């Protein structure tokens, strides 16, 4: 890692960064996604470390890359044929300097400790940027929900919560959804928590159903928030989304509600994708058909293309980033957009790229966008709308209130604008105007670092 490439960093700062990075590699081998996420934050920090030697004296870097607590557990469950399966459960409680640990649960076969740590680390700074008093954590399992029946999903969730319940709580740790965990799973998890604890503790989980403590606009929040962030970036450049061609990857919750908000702002969204391939729809994605295919039938994007008729075509495999667009919203999963894909987008004239997923762009891709002057919204700022409305859900639960959709969406819009403006102003202050990666990393880091220093050696 060439921290020494930084144009202004002092030798002391570079040596602190290199020490922290090398120590992490030694102590946590085999966690490439975690290393990638840490490296990206460390690389943004030289200006703030140079300006504030007290952070170095307090060994803030070493502390911040070490989770406060890591929980690993066995999750045994039975399928519909009576066969026994054993999955692994994780909850990494990364940092609680700003509030209770907060972050989603991911159920996907790729989940391992390194993935959960990368997501938890990102979550610390993302949550700090919301300004809503939430710490960072993440969890999940290598359980694969694909093709499982409702009953199997319920039994798995019940078994998962039978261990997790002792570690979570409305003032301790508040999980929510992520890939593979939506409203149905949160329902089963909440039901089991309530049975075991004999408490109506609505604020222990977010993403609940509207009728039993969930917030309006939580389902929409990540996708809506990312498009709001994109609109703010464009506005700074005197542009907007109206009439723009947009490519979206993924077809889960984030992708669907990115399509919805982008269309509402006048954009023409022409793609969605899944692990089998992507759909190009020249007339623009038919949102109702997409929602029905994904949310009701739990089908694939190929099913959408088949029903949509002549305007849509399904491309098996291939890269959705080859489709020409003014704006790209990667909303599937980590490292889905590499350097070659970024070059293809830039060649086709992309103006803005904003991360709906967590770390979907590789470091090479981010460099391509920065060098080309493309407006780039990093996930920890751009996709913070989901966790922000989760924090609003916690607030409603604490006050036993239930807000209207309009109120929740208005608050979300204000939060996204504030995150945008904070990142923009911080980047400018630290000599990197227009660089939202630097702005997000430094602004998030400073909030957490200041709280940690004020709280003693934590
Ligand atoms: N999983 C989402 C994220 O990556 C939301 C977490 C939450 O609502 O707690 O931010």
Residues of the chain with CATH 3.40.50.10860: 69-201
Tokens representing 411 are 């608050």
From CA 50, how far away is CA 355, in angstroms rounded?
29
Looking from the CA of residue 106, the nearest atom of ligand 1 is 1
User: Tell me, what DSSP letter sits at residue 215?
Assistant: P
Q: What is the pLDDT of residues 168-195, one digit of tens each?
A: 999 999 999 999 999 999 999 999 999 9
Please name the fold of domain 69-201.
Answer: Rossmann fold (3.40.50)
Residue 18's contacts (CB-CB under 8 Å, 6 or more residues apart) are 1, 3
Is 138 one of the catalytic residues? Answer: yes
pLDDT bucket at 2, cuts 50 / 70 / 90: low
Residue 422 in contact with ligand 1 by CB distance below 6 A:
no
CB 78 within 8 A of CB 94: no
Is 220-373 assigned to CATH 1.10.3210.10?
no
Q: Which of 102, 117, 138, 294 is catalytic?
A: 138
DSSP for 60-81, please give it. Answer: HHHHHTS-SEEEEEEEEEE-TT
Residue span(s) of the chain under CATH 3.40.50.720 come to 220-373
Q: What is the pLDDT of residues 287-320, one digit of tens each?
A: 999 999 999 999 999 999 999 999 999 999 999 9
- Which residue is associated with the tokens 């038919």? 286
Per-residue pLDDT at 252: 96
The predicted pLDDT at position 56 comes to 81
User: Is the C-beta atom of 358 inside 6 A of ligand 1?
Assistant: yes
CA distance 227 to 24: 35
Which is it for strands 268-274 and 352-354: parallel, antiparallel or unpaired? unpaired
Spatial CB neighbours of 245, under 8 Å, sequence gap ≥ 6:
267, 268, 270, 324, 325, 326, 327
């Amino acid at each position: 890692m060439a921290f020494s490439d930084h144009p202004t960093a002092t030798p002391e700062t570079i040596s602190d960064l290199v020490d922290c990075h090398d120590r992490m590699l030694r102590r946590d081998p085999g966690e490439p996604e975690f290393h990638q996420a840490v490296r990206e934050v460390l690389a943004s920090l030289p200006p703030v470390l140079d300006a504030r030697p007290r952070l170095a004296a307090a060994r803030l870097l070493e502390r911040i890359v070490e989770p406060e607590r890591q929980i690993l557990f066995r999750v045994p469950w039975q399928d519909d044929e009576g066969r026994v399966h054993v999955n692994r459960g994780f909850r990494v409680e990364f940092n609680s300097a700003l509030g209770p640990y907060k972050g989603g649960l991911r159920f996907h076969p790729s989940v391992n400790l390194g993935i959960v740590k990368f997501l938890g680390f990102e979550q610390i700074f993302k949550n700090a940027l919301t300004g809503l008093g939430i710490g960072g954590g993440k969890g999940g399992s290598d359980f694969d929900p694909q093709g499982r029946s409702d009953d199997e999903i319920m039994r798995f969730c019940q078994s998962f919560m039978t261990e997790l319940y002792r570690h979570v709580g409305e003032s301790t740790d508040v999980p929510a959804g992520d890939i593979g965990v939506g409203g149905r799973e949160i329902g089963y998890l909440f039901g089991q928590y309530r049975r075991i604890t004999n408490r109506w503790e609505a604020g222990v989980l977010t993403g609940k159903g509207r009728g039993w403590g969930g917030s309006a606009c939580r389902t929409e929040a990540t996708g809506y928030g990312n498009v709001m962030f994109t609109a703010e970036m464009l506005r700074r450049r005197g542009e907007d989304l109206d009439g723009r061609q947009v490519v979206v990857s993924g077809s889960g919750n984030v992708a669907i509600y990115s399509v919805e908000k982008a269309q509402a702002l006048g954009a023409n969204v022409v793609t969605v994708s899944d692990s089998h391939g992507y759909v190009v729809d020249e007339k623009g994605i038919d949102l109702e058909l997409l929602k029905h295919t994904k949310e009701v039938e739990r089908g694939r994007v190929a099913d959408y293309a088949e029903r949509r008729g002549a305007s849509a075509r399904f491309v098996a495999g291939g890269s959705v980033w080859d489709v020409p667009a003014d704006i790209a919203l990667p909303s599937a999963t980590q490292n889905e957009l590499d350097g070659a894909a970024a070059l293809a987008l830039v060649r086709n004239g992309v103006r803005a790229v904003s991360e709906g997923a967590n770390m979907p762009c590789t470091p090479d891709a981010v460099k391509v966008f920065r060098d080309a002057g493309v407006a780039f919204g990093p996930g920890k700022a751009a996709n913070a709308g989901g966790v922000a409305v989760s924090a609003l859900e916690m607030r409603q639960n604490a006050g036993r209130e239930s807000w209207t959709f309009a109120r929740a969406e208005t608050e979300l819009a204000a939060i996204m604008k504030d995150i945008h403006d904070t990142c923009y102003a911080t980047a400018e202050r630290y000599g990197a105007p227009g660089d939202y990666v630097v702005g997000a990393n430094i602004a998030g880091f400073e909030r957490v670092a200041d709280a940690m220093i004020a709280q003693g050696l934590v």
